[in-house]
Amino acid sequence: MSEPHSPDALRLVSLRKVYGTAQNQVIALDGVTLSLPPGSFTAIMGPSGSGKSTLLQCAAGLDEPSGGQVFVDGAELTFGSETELTKFRRRRIGFVFQQFNLLPALTVLQNVVLPLRLAGARVDRRRCRSLLEQVGLGDRLHHRPAELSGGQQQRVAIARALVAEPALVFADEPTGALDTRSARAVLALLQEAVRVDEQTVVMVTHDPVAASYADEVVFLADGRLAGRLARPTAEAVAERMTHLGDDVTRQAVGA
Protein backbone atom coordinates (compact mmCIF):
# COMPACT_ATOMS: atom_id res chain seq x y z
CA MET A 1 0.00 0.00 0.00
CA SER A 2 1.26 3.49 -0.74
CA GLU A 3 0.15 7.09 -0.48
CA PRO A 4 1.70 8.82 -3.50
CA HIS A 5 0.16 12.18 -2.65
CA SER A 6 1.14 12.25 1.01
CA PRO A 7 2.71 15.61 1.97
CA ASP A 8 4.75 14.02 4.74
CA ALA A 9 8.38 12.97 4.49
CA LEU A 10 7.80 10.70 7.49
CA ARG A 11 4.52 9.60 9.00
CA LEU A 12 4.17 7.21 11.91
CA VAL A 13 0.69 5.90 12.73
CA SER A 14 0.06 4.29 16.14
CA LEU A 15 3.58 2.87 16.16
CA ARG A 16 4.20 0.22 18.83
CA LYS A 17 7.23 -1.84 19.75
CA VAL A 18 7.09 -4.46 22.50
CA TYR A 19 10.02 -6.55 23.65
CA GLY A 20 9.95 -9.70 25.75
CA THR A 21 7.26 -12.26 26.54
CA ALA A 22 3.70 -11.72 27.70
CA GLN A 23 4.82 -12.28 31.31
CA ASN A 24 7.74 -9.87 31.05
CA GLN A 25 6.91 -7.24 28.44
CA VAL A 26 8.79 -4.03 27.87
CA ILE A 27 6.81 -1.46 25.86
CA ALA A 28 9.42 0.63 24.06
CA LEU A 29 6.92 2.50 21.85
CA ASP A 30 3.32 2.94 22.92
CA GLY A 31 1.18 4.14 20.01
CA VAL A 32 3.32 6.96 18.62
CA THR A 33 1.69 9.01 15.85
CA LEU A 34 3.90 11.63 14.25
CA SER A 35 4.15 13.51 10.93
CA LEU A 36 7.19 15.41 9.66
CA PRO A 37 7.09 17.60 6.54
CA PRO A 38 9.63 17.44 3.72
CA GLY A 39 12.65 19.68 4.08
CA SER A 40 12.56 19.69 7.89
CA PHE A 41 15.24 19.03 10.49
CA THR A 42 13.84 17.30 13.58
CA ALA A 43 15.69 16.28 16.74
CA ILE A 44 14.32 13.41 18.85
CA MET A 45 15.09 13.65 22.56
CA GLY A 46 14.06 11.97 25.77
CA PRO A 47 15.38 10.37 28.96
CA SER A 48 17.20 7.06 28.83
CA GLY A 49 14.69 4.32 28.02
CA SER A 50 12.18 6.76 26.51
CA GLY A 51 12.09 4.91 23.17
CA LYS A 52 13.90 7.44 20.99
CA SER A 53 16.43 4.98 19.54
CA THR A 54 13.70 2.38 19.03
CA LEU A 55 11.63 4.95 17.18
CA LEU A 56 14.56 5.69 14.89
CA GLN A 57 15.23 2.00 14.23
CA CYS A 58 11.57 1.27 13.40
CA ALA A 59 11.10 4.39 11.28
CA ALA A 60 14.28 3.57 9.33
CA GLY A 61 13.22 -0.01 8.64
CA LEU A 62 15.99 -1.55 10.73
CA ASP A 63 13.64 -3.02 13.34
CA GLU A 64 10.12 -4.31 12.76
CA PRO A 65 7.46 -2.62 14.88
CA SER A 66 4.94 -4.69 16.82
CA GLY A 67 2.10 -2.62 15.42
CA GLY A 68 1.27 0.52 13.50
CA GLN A 69 2.48 1.88 10.18
CA VAL A 70 5.50 3.75 8.85
CA PHE A 71 5.29 5.90 5.70
CA VAL A 72 8.48 7.29 4.15
CA ASP A 73 8.16 9.84 1.35
CA GLY A 74 4.50 8.83 0.92
CA ALA A 75 5.16 5.07 0.60
CA GLU A 76 4.43 2.52 3.29
CA LEU A 77 7.44 0.75 4.74
CA THR A 78 6.61 -2.96 4.86
CA PHE A 79 8.58 -5.73 6.54
CA GLY A 80 7.94 -8.65 4.21
CA SER A 81 10.79 -9.48 1.84
CA GLU A 82 14.22 -8.43 3.08
CA THR A 83 15.25 -7.81 -0.53
CA GLU A 84 12.38 -5.39 -1.12
CA LEU A 85 13.02 -3.70 2.22
CA THR A 86 16.68 -3.20 1.31
CA LYS A 87 15.71 -1.69 -2.05
CA PHE A 88 13.23 0.62 -0.33
CA ARG A 89 15.84 1.89 2.12
CA ARG A 90 18.44 2.29 -0.61
CA ARG A 91 16.12 4.48 -2.71
CA ARG A 92 14.65 6.65 0.01
CA ILE A 93 16.72 6.59 3.20
CA GLY A 94 20.19 7.65 4.31
CA PHE A 95 21.78 6.48 7.57
CA VAL A 96 24.21 7.99 10.03
CA PHE A 97 24.46 5.72 13.04
CA GLN A 98 26.93 5.23 15.87
CA GLN A 99 28.47 2.29 14.04
CA PHE A 100 30.27 3.80 11.07
CA ASN A 101 30.02 0.62 8.92
CA LEU A 102 32.78 1.75 6.58
CA LEU A 103 34.43 -0.90 4.43
CA PRO A 104 38.05 -1.14 5.59
CA ALA A 105 39.44 -2.13 2.17
CA LEU A 106 37.99 0.94 0.44
CA THR A 107 39.30 4.50 0.49
CA VAL A 108 37.31 7.37 1.94
CA LEU A 109 36.14 8.43 -1.53
CA GLN A 110 35.25 4.85 -2.49
CA ASN A 111 33.19 4.45 0.69
CA VAL A 112 31.21 7.59 -0.14
CA VAL A 113 30.66 6.50 -3.75
CA LEU A 114 29.52 3.01 -2.70
CA PRO A 115 25.77 3.74 -2.16
CA LEU A 116 25.54 5.20 -5.66
CA ARG A 117 27.18 2.14 -7.18
CA LEU A 118 24.94 -0.24 -5.23
CA ALA A 119 21.86 1.65 -6.43
CA GLY A 120 23.10 1.71 -10.01
CA ALA A 121 22.99 5.51 -9.95
CA ARG A 122 25.25 7.94 -11.75
CA VAL A 123 28.38 8.70 -9.74
CA ASP A 124 29.03 12.42 -9.41
CA ARG A 125 32.59 12.43 -8.10
CA ARG A 126 32.61 16.22 -7.89
CA ARG A 127 29.71 16.14 -5.43
CA CYS A 128 31.39 13.34 -3.45
CA ARG A 129 34.58 15.37 -3.15
CA SER A 130 32.61 18.49 -2.25
CA LEU A 131 30.80 16.68 0.57
CA LEU A 132 34.09 15.37 1.95
CA GLU A 133 35.57 18.87 1.82
CA GLN A 134 32.55 20.21 3.73
CA VAL A 135 33.09 17.69 6.52
CA GLY A 136 36.78 18.54 6.68
CA LEU A 137 38.17 15.50 4.86
CA GLY A 138 39.11 16.98 1.52
CA ASP A 139 42.73 15.93 2.09
CA ARG A 140 41.81 12.37 3.13
CA LEU A 141 40.13 11.12 -0.05
CA HIS A 142 42.54 8.26 -0.59
CA HIS A 143 43.02 7.24 3.04
CA ARG A 144 41.42 4.08 4.40
CA PRO A 145 39.24 4.00 7.52
CA ALA A 146 42.01 2.52 9.68
CA GLU A 147 44.08 5.64 8.95
CA LEU A 148 41.38 7.95 10.33
CA SER A 149 40.26 8.86 13.83
CA GLY A 150 36.82 7.81 15.03
CA GLY A 151 35.52 11.32 14.48
CA GLN A 152 36.85 11.37 10.94
CA GLN A 153 35.26 8.00 10.20
CA GLN A 154 31.95 9.36 11.45
CA ARG A 155 32.21 12.30 9.08
CA VAL A 156 32.83 9.91 6.18
CA ALA A 157 29.64 8.07 7.17
CA ILE A 158 27.72 11.36 7.13
CA ALA A 159 28.98 12.24 3.66
CA ARG A 160 28.05 8.75 2.48
CA ALA A 161 24.51 9.14 3.85
CA LEU A 162 24.00 12.45 2.05
CA VAL A 163 25.60 11.64 -1.29
CA ALA A 164 22.57 9.98 -2.91
CA GLU A 165 20.28 12.84 -1.80
CA PRO A 166 17.76 10.52 -0.09
CA ALA A 167 14.32 11.79 0.85
CA LEU A 168 14.99 11.07 4.51
CA VAL A 169 18.21 10.94 6.54
CA PHE A 170 18.21 9.28 9.96
CA ALA A 171 21.05 10.22 12.29
CA ASP A 172 21.73 8.59 15.67
CA GLU A 173 24.02 10.80 17.77
CA PRO A 174 25.89 11.96 14.64
CA THR A 175 28.19 14.28 16.60
CA GLY A 176 28.85 11.95 19.53
CA ALA A 177 32.44 11.14 18.55
CA LEU A 178 33.39 14.61 17.35
CA ASP A 179 35.10 17.57 18.99
CA THR A 180 33.14 20.80 19.28
CA ARG A 181 34.48 22.35 16.08
CA SER A 182 33.87 19.23 13.99
CA ALA A 183 30.43 18.75 15.54
CA ARG A 184 29.41 22.25 14.50
CA ALA A 185 30.60 21.60 10.96
CA VAL A 186 28.61 18.37 10.77
CA LEU A 187 25.44 19.98 12.14
CA ALA A 188 25.84 22.84 9.68
CA LEU A 189 26.16 20.27 6.89
CA LEU A 190 22.91 18.62 7.99
CA GLN A 191 21.25 22.04 8.04
CA GLU A 192 22.51 22.68 4.52
CA ALA A 193 21.11 19.34 3.35
CA VAL A 194 17.71 20.53 4.61
CA ARG A 195 17.87 24.15 3.43
CA VAL A 196 19.60 23.68 0.07
CA ASP A 197 18.83 20.11 -1.02
CA GLU A 198 15.40 19.97 0.69
CA GLN A 199 16.23 16.69 2.36
CA THR A 200 14.55 15.72 5.62
CA VAL A 201 16.75 14.94 8.62
CA VAL A 202 15.62 13.12 11.77
CA MET A 203 18.30 13.10 14.46
CA VAL A 204 18.40 11.38 17.84
CA THR A 205 20.64 13.26 20.25
CA HIS A 206 21.16 13.77 23.97
CA ASP A 207 22.89 17.12 23.42
CA PRO A 208 20.74 20.28 23.73
CA VAL A 209 23.28 22.24 21.68
CA ALA A 210 23.01 19.75 18.81
CA ALA A 211 19.23 19.81 19.11
CA SER A 212 19.26 23.59 18.79
CA TYR A 213 20.39 23.21 15.16
CA ALA A 214 17.07 21.51 14.34
CA ASP A 215 13.85 23.23 13.29
CA GLU A 216 11.93 21.35 15.94
CA VAL A 217 12.53 18.99 18.86
CA VAL A 218 10.16 16.07 19.49
CA PHE A 219 10.28 14.76 23.05
CA LEU A 220 9.55 11.17 24.11
CA ALA A 221 8.93 9.75 27.57
CA ASP A 222 7.95 6.18 28.42
CA GLY A 223 7.50 5.36 24.73
CA ARG A 224 4.99 8.15 24.12
CA LEU A 225 5.13 11.62 22.64
CA ALA A 226 5.74 14.13 25.43
CA GLY A 227 5.70 17.42 23.56
CA ARG A 228 7.26 19.36 20.69
CA LEU A 229 9.37 22.51 20.66
CA ALA A 230 9.70 24.69 17.56
CA ARG A 231 12.72 26.94 16.93
CA PRO A 232 14.59 25.39 19.88
CA THR A 233 17.41 26.98 21.82
CA ALA A 234 19.88 24.90 23.80
CA GLU A 235 18.60 26.48 27.03
CA ALA A 236 14.93 25.76 26.27
CA VAL A 237 15.72 22.17 25.30
CA ALA A 238 17.75 21.58 28.47
CA GLU A 239 14.95 22.98 30.62
CA ARG A 240 12.32 20.79 28.94
CA MET A 241 14.56 17.71 29.32
CA THR A 242 14.93 18.41 33.04
CA HIS A 243 11.16 18.46 33.47
CA LEU A 244 10.77 15.27 31.42
CA GLY A 245 13.25 13.54 33.70
CA ASP A 246 11.36 14.75 36.77
CA ASP A 247 8.07 13.47 35.34
CA VAL A 248 9.51 10.04 34.62
CA THR A 249 11.02 9.85 38.11
CA ARG A 250 7.70 10.76 39.73
CA GLN A 251 5.89 8.11 37.71
CA ALA A 252 8.48 5.49 38.67
CA VAL A 253 8.03 6.09 42.40
CA GLY A 254 4.25 6.43 42.13
CA ALA A 255 4.12 10.08 43.14
pLDDT, one tens digit per residue, over 73-99 is 999 998 878 888 888 888 889 998 777
* Per-residue pLDDT band at 253 (split at 50, 70, 90): very low
Q: What is the secondary structure of 65-125 as a DSSP string? A: -SEEEEEETTEE---S-HHHHHHHHHHHEEEE-SS----TTS-HHHHHHHHHHHTT----H
Angle at 62 between CA 44 and CA 96, to 5 degrees: 55
CA–CA distance, 21 with 1 (Å, rounded to integer):
30
The pLDDT value given to residue 248? 46
CA distances from residue 170 to 9, 98, 203, 245 in whole angstroms, order as listed: 12, 11, 6, 25
CA–CA distance, 116 with 73 (Å, rounded to integer):
19
Task: Identify the bridge partners of residue 105 per DSSP, sorted by sequence position.
Answer: none
The pLDDT value given to residue 243? 83
The pLDDT value given to residue 134? 80
Beta-carbon count within 10 A of 119 CB = 13
Most confident range, picked from 118-122, 157-161, 242-246: 157-161
Interval 58-63 mean pLDDT = 92
Closest CA to 182 of 214, 143, 210, 146: 210
pLDDT, one tens digit per residue, over 99-127 is 788 999 999 999 999 988 888 888 888 88
The pLDDT value given to residue 12? 97
The pLDDT value given to residue 228? 95
Judge: domain 38-69+80-253, CATH 1.20.1440.230.
no
Domains of the chain, residue spans: 38-69+80-253
pTM (2 decimals)?
0.86
The pLDDT value given to residue 106? 97
